[in-house]
A and B are shown apart, each in its own frame.
Chain A
Amino acid sequence: MSAMLLALFLVFGQLSLMAVGGANAVVPEMLRMVVNEHGWMTAAEFTALFAIAQSAPGPNVLIASLVGWQMASLPGAAISLLGICGPSSVLSFYVARLWQRFRDYKLCHAIQRGFAPLSIGLVLGGAWLLAGIANTGWSAWLLCALSALIAWRTSLHPLWLLGAGAVAGLLGWV
């Protein structure tokens, strides 16, 4: 049991430090390690867990905890989530602190101004990528565009838009 917990922590800890751009960036690598390298489950089982993780609230790193749950129940789930979030969080805590201290330097101004457009490009590019998967028909594209427009132009709480989407789905409009 404890050997399994250690193995889970090591696998997800590695993925944590590779996950530039978020958890979805390492899902293919996660599949390779979990299915091919360690043989913990089949690819079909992994895909089912991924779908559940996407439908749960919260950040999509939850896939790690679902794999951990499958392998070693609750302790496995907790260890895996810590594994995928821990190392990167410690890193970003210290980098953010250094950043606060040096942000008035000329180089930091350049980094900050240079990153702003990249950051926005990443957000919109990632959204475009997701839209291609989530929007299966014209009505879904319409819903997506309306949601984007309202979120952009108003300060309406996002939950209203998600609720509207859920209702539209339940009524079979999407």
Chain B
Amino acid sequence: METHNIPTRRELFTGFFGIGIVGFGGVLPLVHHMLVLRKGWLTDAEFTELLGLGQILPGPNVVNLSVAVGGRFHGASGALLAFSGLLLAPFCIAMLLVSLYQQYRGLPALQQVLAGLAPAATGLIFGMGLRLAAKLERSSWCIALAVLTFVAIGLLHWPLLPLLLVMVPLAVTLAWHLQKEPT
């Protein structure tokens, strides 16, 4: 069940570099695709676990995730390699874009491409969320918590920090009391 491919340091860097260079409009679905589906470094459950950790900690989720994954396989150097792999290309491209911005900002073709990219990128996030949701424990409290979080963030636009301050203790308490027999 829990079989893994263990990446080398070089693979950590190049793997996250590859994500950074193509990750238009948010990279989380790309990270999931690489880590779980393509490379098999993590299972879906482990991905959800590390992503959850990255989400409750401050900082960009994807960067937190890369640090956790890198650190898990190769300690501090692995974390540093995953981190710099992820950020190097986007940083260079952003610097290039900002210098070209003044010249080409009015180009209609560019606006059109962006108008098509954005919905596709958003759809990718939905797809990843649905895939992870399908693996979620089928208990009523789990489903209720997921729906409640979705509604609070997506529909009611509640601020995140107070929401987490309520939901995290609630979720942990529920999970604690409704625990399955430890094996």
Residues of A within 8 A of B (CB): 16-23, 25, 48-49, 52-62, 65-66, 69-70, 74, 77-78, 81, 84-85, 87-89, 91-93, 95-97, 99-100, 106-107, 109-131, 133-136, 140-141, 143-152, 155, 157-159, 161-162, 164-170, 172-174
Task: For A113, list chain B residues within 8 Å (CB).
Answer: 137, 142, 175, 179
User: Quick check: B119 and A144 within 8 Å, CB to CB?
Assistant: yes
Min Cβ gap A107→B in Å is 7
CA A114 to CA B68, docked complex, whole Å: 19
* A residues near B95, Cβ cutoff 8 Å: 65, 69, 74, 77
List chain B residues, Cβ under 8 A from A166: 113, 116-117, 120
**How far apart sit A144 and B135, CA to CA, in the bound complex (Å)?**
22
The docked-state distance in angstroms from the alpha carbon of A164 to that of B143 is: 33
- Say which residue of B118, B149, B153, B175 sits within 8 Å of A110 (CB atoms): B175
Asked if B50 and A143 make an inter-chain contact with CB atoms under 8 angstroms apart, the answer reads: no
Q: Which residue of A lies closest to B90 (CB)?
A: A58
Interface residues of chain B: helix, strand, loop or mixed (majority) = helix
Bound: A114/B173 CA distance, A: 8
Dominant SS among interface residues on chain A: helix
In the assembled complex, 14 residue pairs joining A and B whose CB atoms fall closer than 8 Å, in A order, are A57-B23, A62-B91, A88-B63, A113-B179, A114-B171, A115-B52, A117-B171, A118-B149, A128-B155, A130-B125, A141-B119, A144-B120, A151-B124, A166-B120
B142-177 vs A, CB cutoff 8 Å, 1 = contact: the mask equals 111111111111110100110010011001111110
Binary contact readout B82-110 vs A (1 if CB under 8 angstroms, 0 otherwise)? 01001101110111011001000000010
Q: Which of A20, A49, A100, A117 contacts B161 (CB 8 A)?
A: A20
Bound CA–CA A95/B113 (angstroms): 40
Which B residues are in CB contact (< 8 Å) with A109? 175, 179, 182
Q: How long is the Cα–Cα vector from A85 to B112 in the complex, in angstroms? A: 31
Max count, chain B CB within 10 A of own CB: residue among A66, A112, A120, A130 = A120
Q: How far is the CB of A118 from chain B (nearest CB, A)?
A: 5
User: Does B6 belong to the interface (CB within 8 Å)?
Assistant: no
Contacting residue for B58 out of A88, A110, A147, A170, CB 8 A: A88
Q: Which residues of the other chain, B, contact A62 by a CB distance below 8 angstroms? A: 90-91, 94
For B25, list chain A residues within 8 Å (CB): 54-55, 162
Query: Which chain A positions have C-beta within 8 A of B168?
Result: 114-115, 118
In the complex the two chains form, is A121's CB within 8 Å of B150's CB? yes
User: Does B122 lie within 8 Å of A162, measured CB to CB?
Assistant: no
- A126's nearest neighbour on chain B, judged by CB, is B153
A21 CB contact (under 8 Å) in B22, B61, B67, B117: B61
